[in-house]
Structure 1
Amino acid sequence: MTSEYAAATRQRREQLRDFLRTCRARLTPADVGMPTVGRRRTPGLRREEVAVLAGVGVSWYTWLEQGRDINVSTEVLDAISRALRLSEPERAHLYLLAGLNPPAQAGGARGAEVTPELRQLIDAWLPRPAILQDRYWNLLAVNESARTVFGYDDVDHNCLITFFTNARYRAAHAHWAAVAPAVVAAFRADAAHSPADPEFARLIADLSSVSREFAELWARHEVGAHTQAVKAVHHSEVGDLIFDKTTLAVADRPGWRLELYNPRPGSGTGDRLDRLLGAGVGAPA
């Protein structure tokens, strides 16, 4: 164990001790439905009361709060989270301090509505394309420029499925075959964060059954990342359009990403984009 790793581990355990003590101190027995027994010299719940509420041994909980080197499980951390009435951000913080990756929030951002502020931002990006997607790459919001330039229509609900199955979308992307491996590698990296999520498994199985190209790329087990990239498309009305893509995380929506496209300087894309949207023509053919 390197000295830097040992120092980081020691600091994390110290923070875990202080965090659990603070969370204990803000609760009373009445808050959790327990009777108050005996004289209490310190505020909040006692360690043994937290242990009872969480269904763990008093000694084990004491060792955890003292920051000792003990094994912890997700089930136990969840039980302690419930006992201490932790919020979702606090629960994730407890996981990190205990040395585990926080699980995705229950249901993730699935079902959460796109706020008016996000929709306004996406529309304000016009005449440049903007796309909002969730952790499964489902399309949550697309501005008119993205529809016109990239060929999205009402039947397109998932970026990955569209990438492999929408013939019009594929034909418009000049370098489709070259970027396909990187697309699948990035999706594998996203899916790896939630290995037990049935929605990822369903999407992968469904797409593998209809796209041999996806199935072959998925079998490579390549892993990539979302990076700033160049996206080139060919539109039948105005010719080649080249964009610099920047991907931003939406802080209060876990798993949501905002993709913003800027015309690449010197490519003439800005002028062609203005003509395209000004003419009100349809999607690439």
Structure 2
Amino acid sequence: MSDDAAKSGRLRELRDFLRSRRARITPAEAGLPDGGARRRTPGLRREEVAVLAGVGVSWYQWLEQGRDISVSPQVLDSVARVLRLSNAERRHLYALAGLNPPAPEPAADHQGVEGLRRLIDTWMPFPAHIMDRYYNCVMYNEAAGWVLGMRPETTQNCVVDYFTDPTYRSRARNWEQNARRVVAQFRASCADRPDDEGFQAVVGQLKAASPEFTELWERRDIQDAGLIRKELDHPLVGELCVEATALKVPARPDLTIVLHTPLNEANTAAKLEWLASPEGRRGAMYPVAG
């Protein structure tokens, strides 16, 4: 498909999308009189959307007609507000108008979080946890406590605990190799929000607590989040080899799920299943890092 054909199709979709969104908003919902039986438009009129959004009537008509006109994020946000677009719809509007969509926003309700809790609990007997954009641990399943040493008395920040938790350090066989990756991935997250005080606070805490972190931080390495191999030395079952996978959640872009999958080494899957058994639970008298 040629660029012109693709652009023409995008503008047609923009036209149909705006018409459909406008039709679903009643005058009463927009704070306008409904006009009674004389009103033939199922939703808002074009000129009403323009006035409520603070844009020119002709400009909005051209936009909804799918004409190739200049648009700005500020104007699209005004239109999105009047049409009561969801975050996903607002991003779709940006894309149809030819602009880079804004960053996703977290869902307003807690339903998604409960769904994530069910997800990591279903991942048992393998470790799984969820962290926010600052690497603070939001929740973890039981296996993460037994295997990775996640417990209430730590800082509950995954990157801080990586460098400061002695249990973690004593159990992770490939700690030094992974430390470079952890810092590079954390710096990549910080780079997306250079003025965010939350990231600055975590970096300040780590610099004060760990010369090793400071040395790695000053290297300025950058790496996208992805797969990390973890080799652990568990006091009950010995060697464990797992692969940590970081996954983003579209409905909660502020959260990252980290799932640990057993590798086909050291009989890891069977050992993790045993740790989740009644016998294994009785034997786990102290946390193990990972």
**TM range, normalised to the smaller chain?**
0.7 to 0.9
Task: Give the secondary structure class of the aligned counterpart of 1:259.
Answer: strand
Deviation of 1:131 (Å)? 1.3
> Would the aligned equivalents of 1:16 and 1:67 in 2 still touch at CA under 8 Å?
no
Counterpart residue type for residue 269 of structure 1:
T
Counterpart residue type for residue 231 of structure 1:
K
Gap runs ≥5 in structure 2: none
What TM-score comes out, normalization by structure 1 length? 0.80
Identity fraction in percent: 44
2:255 maps to what in 1?
A: 256
Gap change, CA 1:140 and 1:24, over 3 Å in 2: same
Residues 209-224 of structure 1 aligned to structure 2 (within 5 Å): 209-224=208-223
Gap change, CA 1:92 and 1:199, over 3 Å in 2: farther
Deviation of 1:55 (Å)? 1.6
Mapped to 1, the partners of 2:206 and 2:155 lie a distance apart of 14
Mapped to 2, the partners of 1:200 and 1:9 lie a distance apart of 39
> Would the aligned equivalents of 2:188 and 2:223 in 1 still touch at CA under 8 Å?
yes
2:101 maps to what in 1?
A: 101
Structure 1 residues 136-189: Cα deviation after superposition (integer angstroms, max 9, x where no partner) = 322122122211211222124221221222232133222222222322333344
Structure 1 residues 49-89: Cα deviation after superposition (integer angstroms, max 9, x where no partner) = 2121112233333343324241412x332222211122232
> Would the aligned equivalents of 1:156 and 1:162 in 2 still touch at CA under 8 Å?
yes
> Would the aligned equivalents of 1:152 and 1:169 in 2 still touch at CA under 8 Å?
no
Gap change, CA 1:115 and 1:83, over 3 Å in 2: closer
Deviation of 1:261 (Å)? 1.8
Counterpart residue type for residue 46 of structure 2:
R
Note the aligned Cα RMSD (angstroms). 3.2
> Would the aligned equivalents of 1:131 and 1:259 in 2 still touch at CA under 8 Å?
yes
1:282 maps to what in 2?
A: 286
Mapped to 2, the partners of 1:138 and 1:111 lie a distance apart of 20
Counterpart residue type for residue 165 of structure 1:
T
Structure 1 residues 7-35: Cα deviation after superposition (integer angstroms, max 9, x where no partner) = 44443333222211211122233321224
1:179 maps to what in 2?
A: 178
> Would the aligned equivalents of 2:112 and 2:252 in 1 still touch at CA under 8 Å?
no
Gap change, CA 1:50 and 1:167, over 3 Å in 2: same
Deviation of 1:40 (Å)? 5.3
The question of 1:241 aligning with 2:240 is answered: yes
Counterpart residue type for residue 103 of structure 1:
A
Task: Give the secondary structure class of the aligned counterpart of 2:21.
Answer: helix
Counterpart residue type for residue 101 of structure 1:
P
The question of 1:146 aligning with 2:144 is answered: yes
Deviation of 1:104 (Å)? 3.6
Structure 1 residues 79-109: Cα deviation after superposition (integer angstroms, max 9, x where no partner) = 222111222322232233332222342xx36
Gap change, CA 1:23 and 1:272, over 3 Å in 2: closer
Counterpart residue type for residue 199 of structure 1:
G
Structure 1 residues 189-225: Cα deviation after superposition (integer angstroms, max 9, x where no partner) = 4445555654334434443444444344444444332
Structure 1 residues 201-253: Cα deviation after superposition (integer angstroms, max 9, x where no partner) = 44344434444443444444443323233221222443321012333444543
Task: Give the secondary structure class of the aligned counterpart of 1:78.
Answer: helix
2:48 maps to what in 1?
A: 49
1:70 maps to what in 2?
A: 70
Mapped to 2, the partners of 1:67 and 1:220 lie a distance apart of 49
Counterpart residue type for residue 223 of structure 1:
I
Gap runs ≥5 in structure 1: none
> Would the aligned equivalents of 1:148 and 1:281 in 2 still touch at CA under 8 Å?
no
> Would the aligned equivalents of 2:147 and 2:287 in 1 still touch at CA under 8 Å?
yes
Counterpart residue type for residue 122 of structure 1:
I
Mapped to 1, the partners of 2:12 and 2:191 lie a distance apart of 30
2:117 maps to what in 1?
A: 119
> Would the aligned equivalents of 1:109 and 1:134 in 2 still touch at CA under 8 Å?
no
Deviates more, 1:36-45 or 1:154-163: 36-45
Gap change, CA 1:191 and 1:21, over 3 Å in 2: farther
> Would the aligned equivalents of 2:241 and 2:265 in 1 still touch at CA under 8 Å?
no
Deviates more, 1:247-256 or 1:32-41: 32-41
Mapped to 2, the partners of 1:144 and 1:24 lie a distance apart of 48
What TM-score comes out, normalization by structure 2 length? 0.79
Deviates more, 1:114-123 or 1:255-264: 114-123
